[in-house]
Structure 1
Amino acid sequence: MDVMPKWAEVVLVPLISLLLAAVLSALVILAIGEDPIEAVNLMITGALGSTYGWGYTLYYATNFMFTGLAVAIAFQARLFNIGGEGQAALGGLGVALVCLYIPWPHWTLAILGAAIGGAVFGAAWAAIPAYLQAKRGSHIVITTIMFNFIAAALLNYVLVSVLRPAGQMDPATARFPEAVHLPTLHDMLAPFGIAFSKAAPANISLLLAVAACVFLWFLIWRTKLGFEIRAFGQSEPAAQYAGIAPTRIIMITLLISGALAGMMATNNVMGEAERLVLNSVEGAGFIGIAVALMGRSHPFGVFIAAILFGFLYQGGAELALWTSIPRELIVVIQALVILFTGALDNMVRMPLERLFLMMRKEG
């Protein structure tokens, strides 16, 4: 029997870890001579105080949902996929090819085609490290991080030498046709009489990310494959004894992981930039690791954590714009969140377990 109830595991432990990270962040802000309360107010106002701020917060959160889910499904099988950056970058290539070379009549069909294109390219880029792990025993951490750099080099070559239009200096593709431009939240909410900023990049791919959260929850906890993935993650020898093939689980899990990372490009490439540019991922693949850790590899937890990190990104941009607090401080805050929700998880968990054990004995 578990010492802690499930709600404490999912909600209380991350919440306390987040509060500890917030306290240390406040001390860091004090140390550089700024007022932490004023900084928090500015972050909240900048990220949540207007539809413009909400638009950017939800735009970043959409990216982090996809990459967080990609890491989360791999964690369920105890596989540490840190190649989300490269898989999302190659997913962008898949989205760009689908948008540029297929004459879509309307965005409703184009977004489905782009999601499939991004998923296929992301999964294909994850397939090689998956095969090396399953068949050769090559550690997934090493191979996926190496493939991030290979993906960056490959994308650089393609954008400079293959897809760049003649006479254009930028290493980027041509702009996508008007028919595949995705509606923003402004466009989606206007028919309901709800005013939303036109300048905010959040778009309909947010709904695709939410659907991915629901899909992954159903897959992991309501299907035979999900049970096999979780069983393999809990104990590989026991899973083998039960007839679960490790090679099959490793390959399928990492293919799904790569596909989810690749689908992120529907937001940043198709929805925001409307063309493929270098460094379109902007670190979202690595932020996905923190999102999955904080969300306890649960799709609902990933959804909440992605919004939090979206808030940190947008709020941090406002801090850098209106105060002398450097933009890099947000990286420090993110690192503290990762530290407490990941490496120092037991520092919070063990006292809580003792507390609940004492309460159970007294009851």
Structure 2
Amino acid sequence: MSDGHEPSSAVPEATDGRVAGAPLTDAGQAARSAGQGNREPRSDDPSRWHGVFQQIVTGNAIMSVLAVVLALVVGAIMIAFTNEEVQNAAGYFFARPGDTVAAIWNSVSGAYTALFQGAIYNFRRPDFLDAIKPLTETLTFATPLIAAGLGVGLAFRVGLFNIGGRGQMLIAVACTGWVGFAVDLPWGVHMVVAVVAGIIGGALWGGIVGLLKARTGAHEVIVTIMLNYVAFYLVSFMLRTPGLLQAPGQNTPKSAPMKDTAVFFDLLGPRYNLHFGFVIVIAATIYVWWLLNRSALGFRFRAVGENPNAARVAGINVKNMYVYAMLISGGLVGLAGVNQVLGTVTTGFAAGIDAGIGFDAITVALLGRSRPWGVFVAGILFGAFKAGGFSMQAAEGVPIDIVLVVQSLIVLFIAAPPLVRAIFRLPAPGTAPRRQRPIVTKEVTAR
């Protein structure tokens, strides 16, 4: 019977004008793809490159670079204010403002040019081998900074604040120095034994901190500060005592010179001061990178540093990790002392041989974000400051304290990322717009 409606056996049609269930032709598939593309505008999705840009401008690396830039800008302002020519020109600024601007430019550009010439390349020297010597001086200054920075940075990754670099360096210097001038060994073997003795000395001195923290709960900051004083006065006592570290026949608190068989050999010949210690530091950087990123011990280090309670629940012995971390950290800082006594001060050392490297290492580790290769680059940067600072003072009369202020400002800006982002108008981490999920449409066919 017909009631005026279409029969139920009629074959339904799809929305694209074809019979439901029939296969799509190539043209039909293209048309459907075009139709689906029109349903979801691509302009609503953030670009992949936009996401990459967000990661770059909110990452740790860009924060470190911008911190250095800001510190150099503030340093330029201080250089201009302390320059006599700028001060004289500022006295008649409203009569001839151009003189003041020119004096500011000359003072700042001259100072930073001298810094570059003293740290990287001196283009005023006609011979290339002489012109490149400042770079080798930078690497020489950077060698102990990198070693100590690696030690401090590794402790940071485990959640420990190792500010006992001075004490660990001094104990390493004492061990290396005694082996270097009091023991007779063949060339090569003598150097290896002296290096190992220094690393063991620094490791044991750092291990005391880890052991006290693990067994008694003592705070590593307090312990490392106290051990710095203990090491300083202990080494000073040994340098005043004949038969220990004091050179025979002397009354001054200074050790005997290192024997030639123990001293680091020059990498580029006697014309430059760069020595074999720089190669050892490169190997140490590779080792720390492998330890933190490729080894099971490094995984446990990072887990404890992120959350010691969660690491403990996961079955990691947190106390042992503290001991192991401070042993390795102290050994790396001790390597900085080894470089000082076998590569820089080979004619004998005094109690001030650490030269503040133990504290500078904290700045290097912070600038490098406690990453091995970041610490390596940061150490070279601070080595450039040290090498170029003397040139800047000699050539332009800029106080060397300006360089110390710049280094301190770098730490200040690194410790205040919101300030850096506010100055450069950078987005905060985690504010990137989320990528919208595509709308999935499913065609329902009648059966």
Asked whether the two chains share a fold, i.e. TM above 0.5, the reply is: yes
Label 1:147 to 1:98 Cα distance change in 2 as closer, same or farther (>3 A): same
Q: Distance in 1 between matches of 2:356 and 2:393?
A: 18
1:68-147 correspondence runs (5 A):
68-106=149-187, 108-147=188-227
More displaced 10-residue stretch of structure 1: 148-157 or 320-329: 320-329
More displaced 10-residue stretch of structure 1: 320-329 or 250-259: 320-329
Q: Are 2:240 and 2:254, in contact at CA under 8 Å, matched by a contact in 1? A: yes
Letter in 2 for 1:216: V
Which residue of 164, 174, 180 corresponds with 2:262? 180
Give CA deviations for 1:96-128 in whole Å, capped at 9, x if unaligned: 12222332211x323322221111110111122
Label 1:230 to 1:43 Cα distance change in 2 as closer, same or farther (>3 A): same
Q: Distance in 1 between matches of 2:429 and 2:240?
A: 59
Q: Distance in 2 between matches of 1:42 and 1:362?
A: 52
Q: Give the aligned partner of residue 4 of structure 2.
A: none
Which residue of 365, 368, 380 corresponds with 1:295? 368
Matched, 1:357 2:431: yes
Question: Which protein has the larger Cα radius of gyration, Structure 1 or Structure 2?
Answer: 2
Letter in 2 for 1:222: R
Q: Distance in 2 between matches of 1:3 and 1:22?
A: 25
Count of aligned residue pairs for this structure pair? 351
Larger RCO (CA under 8 A, 6+ residues apart): 1
What TM-score results when the alignment is normalised by the length of structure 1?
Answer: 0.90
Which residue of 257, 260, 265 corresponds with 2:329? 257
Q: Distance in 2 between matches of 1:164 and 1:355?
A: 55
Q: Give the aligned partner of residue 190 of structure 1.
A: none
Q: Give the aligned partner of residue 330 of structure 1.
A: 403
Q: Secondary structure at the match of 1:174?
A: coil
Letter in 1 for 2:202: G
Q: Distance in 2 between matches of 1:44 and 1:204?
A: 25
Label 1:90 to 1:76 Cα distance change in 2 as closer, same or farther (>3 A): same
Report how far residue 305 of structure 1 moved: 0.3
Q: Secondary structure at the match of 1:180?
A: coil
Report how far residue 349 of structure 1 moved: 5.5
Letter in 2 for 1:311: A
Label 1:321 to 1:232 Cα distance change in 2 as closer, same or farther (>3 A): same
Letter in 2 for 1:166: P
Q: Give the aligned partner of residue 191 of structure 1.
A: none
Label 1:319 to 1:10 Cα distance change in 2 as closer, same or farther (>3 A): same
Give CA deviations for 1:18-58 in whole Å, capped at 9, x if unaligned: 11111111111112126111111000001112333223211
Q: Give the aligned partner of residue 193 of structure 1.
A: none
Q: Are 2:186 and 2:261, in contact at CA under 8 Å, matched by a contact in 1? A: yes
Q: Distance in 2 between matches of 1:237 and 1:58?
A: 41
Q: Give the aligned partner of residue 219 of structure 1.
A: 291
Give CA deviations for 1:285-343 in whole Å, capped at 9, x if unaligned: 111101110101011001100000000011111122223321111111110111112x2
Q: Give the aligned partner of residue 231 of structure 1.
A: 303
Q: Distance in 2 between matches of 1:211 and 1:181?
A: 18
Report how far residue 142 of structure 1 moved: 1.4
Report how far residue 2 of structure 1 moved: 12
Unaligned runs of 5+ in 1: 188-196
Report how far residue 170 of structure 1 moved: 3.1
Give CA deviations for 1:239-297 in whole Å, capped at 9, x if unaligned: 00001111100000011000001111232101121133221110111111011101010
Matched, 1:18 2:68: yes
Unaligned runs of 5+ in 2: 1-50, 87-106, 122-130, 438-447
Q: Give the aligned partner of residue 48 of structure 1.
A: 120
Label 1:226 to 1:352 Cα distance change in 2 as closer, same or farther (>3 A): farther
Q: Are 1:291 and 1:309, in contact at CA under 8 Å, matched by a contact in 2? A: yes
Q: Are 1:95 and 1:266, in contact at CA under 8 Å, matched by a contact in 2? A: yes
Q: Distance in 2 between matches of 1:169 and 1:51?
A: 41
Which residue of 156, 179, 199 corresponds with 2:236? 156
Label 1:15 to 1:167 Cα distance change in 2 as closer, same or farther (>3 A): same
Report how far residue 8 of structure 1 moved: 5.4
